[in-house]
Copies of this chain bind each other. A is one copy, B any other.
Amino acid sequence: MEHYRDIGFKLTPQRIAILDFLEGHKGHPTAEDVYKAVVKRFPTMSFATVYNTLQALKERGRVAELSIDPGKRRFDPGREPHHHLVCTGCRRIVDIHRSYKLPVSEKERAGFDITGNHVEFHGRCPSCKKKLLSAV
């Protein structure tokens, strides 16, 4: 954890608590998830600090920001890569643990360095399939 200092990231007690939470997290927490977990240890914790810290970590490539949830940001502590299958009806999310090698031509990449990919599969979950049928 000490190496954070080397990348211009001051280690405050609040930040260490946030890092602890992220390290032990399997899912895709929102800022609110982080806040709720950390406020137990730091009753004075504010959302601003959570957002600032997540932003700082993101800039340093320590967490990824997901956008599977419209209108809400989700962060991924980023261990094994995984993808998501989202129900277009109810937004239920299922993880797909698998990785894909996706070719992108030199021309398409437009000078970008590609660091990763994330696939969002769309579909209908079993219960929304039923609803759709009965609606028609």
Contacts and interface: CB of A to CB of B under 8 A. Distances in A.
B112 A85 contact: yes
A121 B117 CA distance: 4
B70 A65 contact: yes
Contact of A112 (B58, B59, B120, B125): B125
Interface residues of A, number: 44
A107 to B, nearest CB: 10
Nearest to A127: B111
Given A61-B88, A67-B67, A67-B68, A112 B118 contact: no
A123 interface: yes
A33 B71 CA distance: 17
